[in-house]
């Protein structure tokens, strides 16, 4: 579940009043034609109740520069943290990816979320999201796999 209202997060920022919300997707209206730097981070995965460490795989961080046009609407879907496992389930969910796309769903930049873990005593890098075009394999059967990223630069 994503946000249900904008709140005051953008108040006082350079993009104050430029962001609206529709079905948990933020929509930003580009104020001026030019090059914009966009940074996205995938959400972390959840962890099982029996896990010694209390964080899942880490989401990846991606940064890119893009040429955007005045009044173009950019859609932003921010990944949410993976669910935490409970005693009867013990497993957990992977973190959600963060997506920034043009109005016609053409991707600009995407950051994969981290894998969920079950019962871990230390952080394992195979649970983290990958910066490659394929995800990580995870670590044995108790773990989910880290997501992948995708970028597309349009100039």
* Span 104-126, pLDDT tens digits: 899 999 988 887 776 666 566 66
Mean pLDDT of the chain: 76
So what's the pLDDT on residue 139?
A: 57
pTM: 0.73
| pLDDT bracket for residue 75 (50, 70, 90) | very high
H helix or E strand, kind and range, residue 20: strand 19-22
d(CA 111, CA 100): 9
Supply the Cα-derived Rg of the chain in whole angstroms.
17
So what's the pLDDT on residue 60?
A: 86
Q: Give residue-wise pLDDT tens across range 129-144.
A: 777 766 666 655 443 4
Max CA-CA distance within the chain? Answer: 53
Region 47-76: mean pLDDT is: 85
Region 35-48: mean pLDDT is: 87
């Amino acid at each position: 579940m994503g946000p249900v209202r904008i709140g005051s997060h953008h108040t006082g920022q350079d993009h104050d009043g430029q962001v609206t919300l529709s079905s948990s997707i933020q929509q930003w209206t580009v104020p001026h034609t030019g090059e914009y730097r966009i940074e996205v981070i995938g959400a972390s995965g959840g962890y099982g109740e029996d896990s010694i460490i209390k964080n899942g795989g880490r989401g990846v961080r991606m940064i890119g520069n893009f040429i955007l046009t005045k009044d173009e609407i950019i859609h932003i879907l921010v990944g949410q943290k993976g669910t935490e496992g409970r005693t009867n389930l013990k497993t957990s969910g992977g973190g959600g990816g963060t997506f920034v796309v043009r109005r016609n769903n053409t991707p600009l930049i995407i950051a994969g979320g981290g894998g969920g873990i079950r019962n871990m005593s230390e952080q394992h890098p195979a649970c983290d999201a990958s910066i490659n075009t394929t995800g990580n394999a995870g670590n044995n059967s108790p773990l989910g796999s880290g997501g992948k990223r995708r970028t597309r630069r349009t100039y």
